[in-house]
Amino acid sequence: MTQPLLNIEPVGFHPNFANSFTLCASWALGTTRAMVEVSQVDRFKFRPGQAEGVRKIKAAFEHGAKTVFLDAPVGSGKSLINLLVARDMLGAYISTPQVILVNQYGSDTQEGGKFAGLAETLYGRRNYPCTYLRSLPEEDGGRPYATAAGAPCIYLAGWPNACPHFSECLYYLARQAAQAHSRTVTTMAYLLLGIRSGLDRPNSGWRERPLLVIDEAHGLAEDLVNFYQAELGPHTLPGFRKKWLETPADLRFRVLESLPPYIDRLKEVLETLQATREFTKKVRERLERLDSAVKSAEDVLYKLKTGTVEWVHTYDSRTSKHTWRPLAVRSLVDDFWGRFNRVLLSSATFFGIESLVRDADLPTPVERVVVPDCFPPERAPIRLLSAARLVYRTDSLEIERAADAVAAVAQAHHSERGIIHANSYHLANAIRKQLPPQVRRRLTSHDPSNRGRRYDRWRADPAQDAILLAVAMNQGIDLLGDLARWQVIVKVPFPNLGDTWVRRRMEQKDGQSWYSGRAMIQVLQAAGRIMRSADDRGTTYVIDTQLDGLIDSGWFDLPKWFRQRVIEGRRLNQSLPGKFGDYATRA
Q: Which residues bind ligand SF4 (CB under 6 A)?
A: 130-133, 148, 151-153, 160, 163, 165-166, 169, 171-172
Shortest distance in whole angstroms from residue 572 CB to ligand SF4: 57
**How many Å is the Cα radius of gyration of the chain?**
26
Query: With respect to ligand SF4, which residue has the nearer C-beta, 146 or 380?
Result: 146
Query: With respect to ligand SF4, which residue has the nearer C-beta, 167 or 272?
Result: 167
C-alpha to C-alpha distance for 299 and 569, rounded to whole angstroms? 49
Shortest distance in whole angstroms from residue 123 CB to ligand SF4: 13
Query: With respect to ligand SF4, which residue has the nearer C-beta, 132 or 458?
Result: 132
Query: With respect to ligand SF4, which residue has the nearer C-beta, 13 or 172?
Result: 172
Shortest distance in whole angstroms from residue 509 CB to ligand SF4: 48
HSE-up (13 A, CA, CB side) for residue 262: 23
Which H or E run includes 357?
helix 353-359
CA 424 to chain centre: 20
Instruction: Give which of 195, 475, 224 is closest to 345, Cα–Cα.
Output: 224
Query: With respect to ligand SF4, which residue has the nearer C-beta, 122 or 333?
Result: 122
Shortest distance in whole angstroms from residue 291 CB to ligand SF4: 13
C-alpha to C-alpha distance for 554 and 351, rounded to whole angstroms? 8
Instruction: Give which of 343, 322, 314, 328 is closest to 222, Cα–Cα.
Output: 328
Angle between helical axes of 78-88 and 50-62 (0-180°, round to 10): 40
Shortest distance in whole angstroms from residue 160 CB to ligand SF4: 4
AA letter at 41: V
Shortest distance in whole angstroms from residue 185 CB to ligand SF4: 21
HSE-up (13 A, CA, CB side) for residue 485: 17
CA 536 to chain centre: 24
Query: With respect to ligand SF4, which residue has the nearer C-beta, 149 or 256?
Result: 149
Q: What is the dihedral of CA 154, 156, 162, 167, to 10 degrees?
A: -10
Shortest distance in whole angstroms from residue 283 CB to ligand SF4: 15
C-alpha to C-alpha distance for 283 and 257, rounded to whole angstroms? 30
Instruction: Give which of 445, 437, 449 is closest to 469, Cα–Cα.
Output: 445
**389 burial type by CB count under 10 A (0-12 exposed, 13-18 middle, 19+ buried):** middle
Length of the chain in terms of residues written: 587
Query: With respect to ligand SF4, which residue has the nearer C-beta, 284 or 358?
Result: 284
Shortest distance in whole angstroms from residue 140 CB to ligand SF4: 14
Query: With respect to ligand SF4, which residue has the nearer C-beta, 169 or 408?
Result: 169
Query: With respect to ligand SF4, which residue has the nearer C-beta, 130 or 558?
Result: 130
Shortest distance in whole angstroms from residue 63 CB to ligand SF4: 46
Query: With respect to ligand SF4, which residue has the nearer C-beta, 17 or 166?
Result: 166
Determine contact, residues 13/71, Cβ cutoff 8 Å. Answer: yes
Q: What is the dihedral of CA 550, 554, 557, 561, to 10 degrees?
A: 50
Residue 344: DSSP 8-state: E
Determine contact, residues 222/353, Cβ cutoff 8 Å. Answer: no
Determine contact, residues 106/95, Cβ cutoff 8 Å. Answer: no
Query: With respect to ligand SF4, which residue has the nearer C-beta, 29 or 180?
Result: 180
Cα→Cα distances 262→240, 255, 291, 296, 319, Å = 7, 10, 13, 12, 21
Query: With respect to ligand SF4, which residue has the nearer C-beta, 121 or 131?
Result: 131
C-alpha to C-alpha distance for 484 and 486, rounded to whole angstroms? 6
Instruction: Give which of 101, 154, 105, 98 is closest to 125, Cα–Cα.
Output: 154
Query: With respect to ligand SF4, which residue has the nearer C-beta, 148 or 294?
Result: 148
Q: 3-state class of 190 per DSSP?
A: helix
Query: With respect to ligand SF4, which residue has the nearer C-beta, 171 or 514?
Result: 171
Which residues are CB-contacts of 277 (< 8 A; sequence separation ≥ 6)? none
Shortest distance in whole angstroms from residue 162 CB to ligand SF4: 9
Q: Is 61 left (phi over 0), alpha (psi -120 to 50) or beta?
A: alpha
CA 418 to chain centre: 24
Shortest distance in whole angstroms from residue 279 CB to ligand SF4: 11
